[in-house]
Structure 1
Amino acid sequence: MLDCRVLDLSDHRGQLAGGMLADLGADVVLVEPPGGSRARNVGPFVEGREGDPESSLWFWSYNRGKRSMVLDLDDPGGQESLRRLAASADVLIESDAPGAMAARGLGPDDLAAVNPALVYASITPFGQNGPKADWVATDLIVSAAGMLSNVVGDEDRAPLRIPLDQCFLHASAEAAVASLVALRERKRSGQGQHIDTSVQQAVTQATQSATLCHLYNSPELLRMSGGARLGPFRVRLRSPAADGFVSATILFGESIGPFGARLFEWMHPQGGCADSDLEIDWIHFVEGVITGRIPITEYDRIQQVAADFTATRTKAELLEASLEHRLLIVPISTVAEVVDSPQYAERDFWRDIATGGLDSVRYPGPMAQLSATPLDISTPPPSLGQHTAEVLAELDAAPVAVAPVSHELVSDELVSAAAASHRDPALPLADVKILDFMWVMAGPGSTRVLADWGATVVRVESSHKVEAARTIQPFLNDEAGAENGGLYQNMNAGKLGITIDISKPESRDLILDLVRWADVVCESFSPRALRELGLAYQDLCEVKPDIIMASSCLFGQSGPLSSLAGFGTMGASLSGFYEMTGWPDRDPAGVFGAYTDYVSPKFLSAVLLAALEHRDRTGEGQYIDMSQAEASMKFLAPAVLDYSVNARMPAKLGNDHPSMSPHGVFAATGEDRWIAVACESDEQWQALCGVIGAEGLAGLGVGERRERADEIAGLVTGWTSERDAVEAHSELQAAGVPAHAVADSAMMAADPQLAHRRHFREVAHGANGTMWVEGTRFAMSRSSDGISHGGPTYGEHTFVVLEQLLGYDADRITELAVAGVLE
């Protein structure tokens, strides 16, 4: 689908980006140093082959479909070869420290002189510049800096990490999306640019907008094993089953409350609840608690009644009931249960590929199913230097000189397209028009990033069926209201809003006119919902043959779980992330909230941009079936391969790490204040010993440190517990030790690095004057984002859409209003 050349210079911190582009059809050349990429030394490994550069299951997970060549970029000859490669490349991806590539004469400015059209993407913990740009960091450190650690774990212990490193994967996926945005902008300007992706910013997506709590004057979201604490509410997302655990979502309001009512109606005939429980006010419960009409203890009682009942049923029985009665209960699955799930088998998701001398290794399949351009991911990861001669021969046979291009003016065509799109024509995606029927987070998150960079996104809502994101904390001044929710604002900033009752037959012509206007239609209804309204992909193609349509739901449009209604909390539980996160001596604490909702949007954004590129080149639209669980499996890939190859399940490790020590979260002064500290090398350990006064232990190797982990943890805690977390991380970083305070939303709002990168934006809002939203996770050297407005209020842009985008006159608008189509 993509027709471009990518040079991937990254290591384990960035290789997913090139992997995503390879899956989408790009020719990705992995440029490795003579000893091989650092990723080849990252576990898990094929059993018995640790130390073999061809045995890293982490490397296998993120390098399928690439070609490998060896270049020594610290040697003048290798540097010159890279310059020659860059002259004909479209994208370069790197994850070195800020300034390291420039010191070799291979920085973005250096290579722009060779190829002005090159898109140069950098992935670093805190970004290329700013007060923390040079800070050293591991996955644990940026998890703390990005607030993810603060919302994961047991409330009576230190915040937890997800044991399979996740944070750099979030940033890698953002960098892939950013590269595609820049490539689309290049079609107009002829110019490449430098993409600067911050891992700290990328991982904030996984807090479900809890980073905004302080700025919204709303209570901090607090961690809780198997759930979360939201103000006075203790929300359980883990309940016992007869053979393990399930996730039972019991919440209230117009969108989610009816699921709870159905649960208790199902339980009642089986003796699972009292007669009086059938009278629970599922719609107005929260209001009742806030006003004092309902005691807060009632919520705990309701959740305990449900938990007592689920404990008497198996996970399979509860899943069957969820499918039959439309409940929000799903198993908390192990990796083995995920791999053996009939859902993935029926959708032919897994790919069995011969790799590294093994006849068959099971890999996660494509990030989405595409009707016109199915993704081919059958090529195994390369051996070290496998394609060096091949790539150099291509270079010698057909050297390409790229002439500088300068387009100072925006083309007339783009001005015309942007006028019809209602965005500044200078924005990278100003010619892209999207009709958005998405809900909550996984869907809207994917179109939010496209709106940030210029796409006109028309969001269709109904005031009679409240969007669940409008009912989720944080709320402005802790006051619930449809226009006060931070999650809704964050997922829908910059979009146009129109309210339509799509159940009215008269709405169909209006929607089809919006389809004629759009390039892309996105929806996240349950499967078959739009088909019943005569708005399936085939129907849309009749009015616009080249339309791109994307359907995003938990498990896709087919398979035994396709009809499962639900939220990302259920996707996280069924996808294997939840069960592995916790302390070895306790039940799984689980990842925070709707984890697949934080991962899958990045993949849908990338697929949409690739589909637009294909349509522009061929005139062909297509249908995209996005299973949020399948897309998110990319973040679980090393664990899937470990089970496939070694029959080994991921263990709950707490904050331990198999190759770093010390590696943990330690108490600082103050209530529930913590600092993350990790040592990747002996040098960092020696520096830590010097800071905390443990010079006598400086000679310990990593193996010895792991054996004496409890002793060392006590020494580190003795030092950190007498210091403010921010002061402590500043002192440790000055000595070259990876460390960061575990941030809450107040600390995030005061973080000088986030301020430097304009992470939090105060934007215009139709009801409240201004609201806070998060900015983009990446910056570009030439292009600016277009973030200026929050999420639309109900029907805020109805007349803008009808009059300016569709050209409707007053009579036509009156007809729609009289018919009850416009709300």
Structure 2
Amino acid sequence: MLALDQLQVRDYWQRVEMPRADGPAPVRLCGALAKTTGEPLADLPVAPRLGEHTAHYRGSGSSAGPAITARPRAEAAPAGQQMERPLDDIKILDFMWALAGPGATRTLADYGATVVKVESELKPDVLRGVHPFIGEEGGQENALQFHSINAGKMDLTLDLSLPEAREVILDLVAWCDVLTESFSPKAMENWGLTYDVLREVNPELVMFSSCLMGQTGPMRMYAGFGTMAAAIAGFYPVTGWPDRIPAGPFTAYTDYISPKLGVMLILSALAERDRTGRGQHIDFAQMEGALHFLATEFADEEINGRTAGRAGNADRHMCPHGVYAAAGDDCWVAIACETEAQWGALANLVDADADLRDLDMAARRAHAETIDAAITAWTEPREAADIEAALQACGVPAHRVSDAADLMADPQIVAREHFLSVPHAKHGHTWVENSNFELSRTPGRPLWGGPMFGEHNMEVLEGILGYDADRVAELVIAGALT
């Protein structure tokens, strides 16, 4: 990865002077999350030494460290009083598809943003064809993942190959605050909808482009899903067992981490727009965003020349640390000991041999196989729920390995209303995931399930854009609303 041409061309790696005993040494660390046409994301200084800025912040007058400037804040609502949703005035034109992109606009919709999803029945969002389906019946309006990841959005169908559809898009660009897209880098160019064109219509527009490898570089046209991005980013060589082929992380990994980064980047760009009056284009490469989740491994390679490898469930800082068989078919319990007290409690519970009980972390790692065998001998005849309860009761981090049915019934999941029944135009109701985080005064919540094709065509064309019946009829006759 440190030598990958794509990252070199995009000037991804941040170069910092790392303090060493023999003097500072230049090293490469993970760089900015995205490329922008606005104010560039700041290069961060090297991590501080322990206590490096203590004197400064105790008022010694030292020049070390950054100055702290208080920002004006809006008056807070009284505790317990809910306010309007924080993004109620934000309008988003959404060209995202699949998972990595729509997950970001779904979160923004949860917190009040008006999101108009643009798609076409001629080339539907791939997620409409992915199981599970309601009633096990395949169909474009039955896909539960689509219902969840696009909850709370409006749907407008347009055939973007037609000039009439492009005119509608330009009117929506003038209306919106943010335009999001996750096509290949050439798609918006082919439709004549580049950022340079769009900012002529709306100079304050924030455009967010999310694709696998970014808008520039020799690999920019590389198409694929999160599994490919995870493989390129280096997750596969470090995930799995050392004596087996790479396993990789579960499912399309970068599809699930990219939305969180996307939300942050979009909100940051809106904050800058509010401060400066200028919009910008954000070029987010999903693979580059994922590199930050391996930042420690890259730093270890760059600084110490130590290449990370596969270690199964072992952890450098915890032992024991693994998943252990319980009674029943394919039943397991995850257990981790970070402190000596936790290990002591576990050792007593499983009646570990005396010569194992007083081992420190380094010694336990050296005897990991023996310790794992002792734990397994205790867990195998017991029910996973009983193991979990016994370990948690004595302060040992542990939890049964859950399947989908377990999650639906999990008391914590149920208490936090993670799975919600919400209205759906075809099915009456559908199931979606709730917002992934909670704000006490401005809670977010999906209001309806993923929309049907063109469900909000008239609401968008007449209600938002103010088109009259004749204008809408012209679009229908031209075949633009498909």
User: TM-score category by the smaller chain?
Assistant: over 0.9
Given candidates 413, 418, 438, the residue that maps to 1:759 is: 418
- Determine if contact 1:501/1:820 at 8 Å carries over to the other structure: yes
Structure 2 partner of 1:687 = 345
Given candidates 466, 470, 480, the residue that maps to 1:807 is: 466
TM-score (norm 2): 0.93
Q: CA deviation at 1:365?
A: 1.2
- 1:521 maps to a residue whose letter is L
- Determine if contact 1:764/1:771 at 8 Å carries over to the other structure: yes
Superposition pairs of residues 123-202 of structure 1, within 5 angstroms = none
Alpha-carbon distance in 1 for matches of 2:434, 2:77: 28
Q: Confirm whether residue 777 of structure 1 aligns to residue 436 of structure 2.
A: yes
Structure 1 partner of 2:287 = 629
Alpha-carbon distance in 2 for matches of 1:800, 1:390: 57
Alpha-carbon distance in 2 for matches of 1:377, 1:678: 36
| Corresponding residue SS for 1:549 | strand
Given candidates 446, 460, 466, the residue that maps to 2:118 is: 460
Structure 2 partner of 1:346 = 9
Q: CA deviation at 1:349?
A: 0.7
Superposition pairs of residues 410-489 of structure 1, within 5 angstroms = 426-489=84-147
Q: Confirm whether residue 541 of structure 1 aligns to residue 199 of structure 2.
A: yes
Alpha-carbon distance in 1 for matches of 2:74, 2:481: 51
Q: Residue 564 and residue 394 in structure 1: after superposition, are their counterparts in 2 closer, same or farther (change >3 A)?
A: farther
Structure 2 partner of 1:704 = 363
Given candidates 367, 384, 388, the residue that maps to 2:54 is: 388
Q: Residue 638 and residue 762 in structure 1: after superposition, are their counterparts in 2 closer, same or farther (change >3 A)?
A: same
| Corresponding residue SS for 2:438 | strand
- 2:324 maps to a residue whose letter is F
Structure 2 partner of 1:579 = 237
Gaps of 5+ in 2: none
Structure 1 partner of 2:75 = 405
Alpha-carbon distance in 1 for matches of 2:60, 2:128: 54
Q: CA deviation at 1:458?
A: 0.5
| Corresponding residue SS for 1:779 | coil
Matched residues, number: 471
Gaps of 5+ in 1: 1-337, 409-423
Aligned-residue sequence identity (percent) comes to 47
Structure 2 partner of 1:149 = none
Deviating more after overlay: 658-667 vs 718-727: 718-727
Q: CA deviation at 1:543?
A: 1.1
Q: Residue 706 and residue 528 in structure 1: after superposition, are their counterparts in 2 closer, same or farther (change >3 A)?
A: same
Deviating more after overlay: 545-554 vs 710-719: 710-719
Alpha-carbon distance in 1 for matches of 2:253, 2:133: 21
Given candidates 12, 20, 32, the residue that maps to 1:366 is: 32
Q: CA deviation at 1:501?
A: 0.6
Q: Residue 669 and residue 388 in structure 1: after superposition, are their counterparts in 2 closer, same or farther (change >3 A)?
A: same
Structure 1 partner of 2:409 = 750
- Provide the alpha-carbon RMSD of the alignment: 2.2
Q: Residue 632 and residue 404 in structure 1: after superposition, are their counterparts in 2 closer, same or farther (change >3 A)?
A: closer
Q: Residue 406 and residue 355 in structure 1: after superposition, are their counterparts in 2 closer, same or farther (change >3 A)?
A: closer
| Corresponding residue SS for 1:790 | coil
Q: Residue 425 and residue 457 in structure 1: after superposition, are their counterparts in 2 closer, same or farther (change >3 A)?
A: farther
Alpha-carbon distance in 1 for matches of 2:236, 2:228: 10
- Any idea what the Cα deviations from partners look like across 1:152-181, whole Å, max 9, x if unmatched? xxxxxxxxxxxxxxxxxxxxxxxxxxxxxx
- 2:12 maps to a residue whose letter is F
Alpha-carbon distance in 1 for matches of 2:289, 2:46: 19
Q: CA deviation at 1:693?
A: 2.5
Alpha-carbon distance in 2 for matches of 1:637, 1:672: 34
- Determine if contact 1:425/1:431 at 8 Å carries over to the other structure: no
Structure 2 partner of 1:165 = none
Structure 2 partner of 1:209 = none
| Corresponding residue SS for 1:340 | coil
Alpha-carbon distance in 2 for matches of 1:608, 1:813: 32
Given candidates 718, 730, 733, the residue that maps to 2:377 is: 718
Q: Residue 578 and residue 693 in structure 1: after superposition, are their counterparts in 2 closer, same or farther (change >3 A)?
A: same
Alpha-carbon distance in 2 for matches of 1:350, 1:575: 13
Alpha-carbon distance in 1 for matches of 2:219, 2:73: 53
- Determine if contact 1:661/1:680 at 8 Å carries over to the other structure: yes
Q: Residue 702 and residue 784 in structure 1: after superposition, are their counterparts in 2 closer, same or farther (change >3 A)?
A: same
| Corresponding residue SS for 1:780 | coil
Structure 2 partner of 1:255 = none
Alpha-carbon distance in 1 for matches of 2:366, 2:7: 40
Alpha-carbon distance in 2 for matches of 1:398, 1:383: 19
| Corresponding residue SS for 1:718 | helix
Q: CA deviation at 1:474?
A: 2.1
Q: CA deviation at 1:708?
A: 2.2
- Any idea what the Cα deviations from partners look like across 1:354-384, whole Å, max 9, x if unmatched? 1232411111111000101111214222122
TM-score (norm 1): 0.55
Q: Residue 490 and residue 548 in structure 1: after superposition, are their counterparts in 2 closer, same or farther (change >3 A)?
A: same
- 1:429 maps to a residue whose letter is L
- Determine if contact 2:434/2:445 at 8 Å carries over to the other structure: no
Superposition pairs of residues 276-675 of structure 1, within 5 angstroms = 338-357=1-20, 358-393=24-59, 405=75, 426-675=84-333
| Corresponding residue SS for 1:465 | coil
Alpha-carbon distance in 1 for matches of 2:273, 2:74: 27
Q: Residue 644 and residue 471 in structure 1: after superposition, are their counterparts in 2 closer, same or farther (change >3 A)?
A: same
- Determine if contact 1:439/1:524 at 8 Å carries over to the other structure: yes
- Determine if contact 2:77/2:83 at 8 Å carries over to the other structure: no
| Corresponding residue SS for 1:659 | coil
Alpha-carbon distance in 1 for matches of 2:16, 2:126: 41
- Any idea what the Cα deviations from partners look like across 1:732-767, whole Å, max 9, x if unmatched? 101100101111111111111111111111111112
- Determine if contact 2:83/2:441 at 8 Å carries over to the other structure: no
- 1:712 maps to a residue whose letter is I
Structure 2 partner of 1:222 = none
Q: Residue 353 and residue 815 in structure 1: after superposition, are their counterparts in 2 closer, same or farther (change >3 A)?
A: same
- Determine if contact 1:686/1:695 at 8 Å carries over to the other structure: no
| Corresponding residue SS for 1:393 | coil
Alpha-carbon distance in 1 for matches of 2:83, 2:473: 31
- 2:154 maps to a residue whose letter is L
Q: CA deviation at 1:426?
A: 1.2
Superposition pairs of residues 52-131 of structure 1, within 5 angstroms = none
Q: CA deviation at 1:789?
A: 0.8
Alpha-carbon distance in 2 for matches of 1:403, 1:560: 44
| Corresponding residue SS for 1:778 | coil
- 1:347 maps to a residue whose letter is R
- 1:751 maps to a residue whose letter is D
Q: Confirm whether residue 729 of structure 1 aligns to residue 392 of structure 2.
A: no
